[in-house]
Amino acid sequence: MASEALTVIDTDADTLHVSTRQQSWCKNCHAQPGCGMQLLHSASFNKQETLEFPMPVSLQGKVGKGDLVEFIMQDRQLMLLAFQHYLLPLICMLAATLLATAITDALNIGEFLVILSAFSGLFLSLFWVRQLSKLHTGIPARIVLSSIPKSSSMEN
């Protein structure tokens, strides 16, 4: 299972407002100068992001501002989402390119159609993935109270 610790910013009757936490353990790591995660962290993951989730029934009245919660997702669901968001667009782009190559070879026309088809396949599949994401409004994961005490949280 994949899990991410989140900090509660605010709660409404039906919404849980949380923010991602910045991990500070990299500062004490001896491999920091050559670590790829350190580069990614400094480039894009250094920002806190605010997220909103429907309030889980199990947490209603139990969480408040500053509490730590965990977002837990099954590995299978995580792999399906990764396939949908990363591999599916590449497969569609490759399929469109192969189809356009076969057509241009049969009709003996230029390569412009192949290039146009590759980009069209990619952008249409990205649009399709976006629409699929909008259809799946339920969270395929659990949000539970964290067992990590507030004092040992890894915020900067």
- Give the pLDDT score at 154: 46
Dump pLDDT digits (tens) for 76-104.
887 888 888 889 999 999 999 999 999 99
pLDDT at position 120 is 94
Helix ranges (DSSP H) in 16-155: 36-43, 75-82, 88-107, 112-135
Averaged pLDDT score across all residues of the chain = 77
pTM of the model: 0.57
| Residue 7 near residue 18, CB atoms below 8 Å | yes
Q: Which letter does DSSP use for residue 14 in this model? A: S
Highest mean pLDDT: which range of 6-20, 36-50, 82-96: 82-96
| 3-class SS of residue 143 | strand
81 forms bridges with which residues in the sheet?
A: none
Q: Per-residue confidence at 73, pLDDT binned at 50, 70, 90?
A: confident
pLDDT above 70: residue 116: yes
pLDDT value at 149 more than 70: no
How would residue 37 be classed by pLDDT, with cut points 50, 70 and 90? Answer: low
pLDDT at position 150: 53
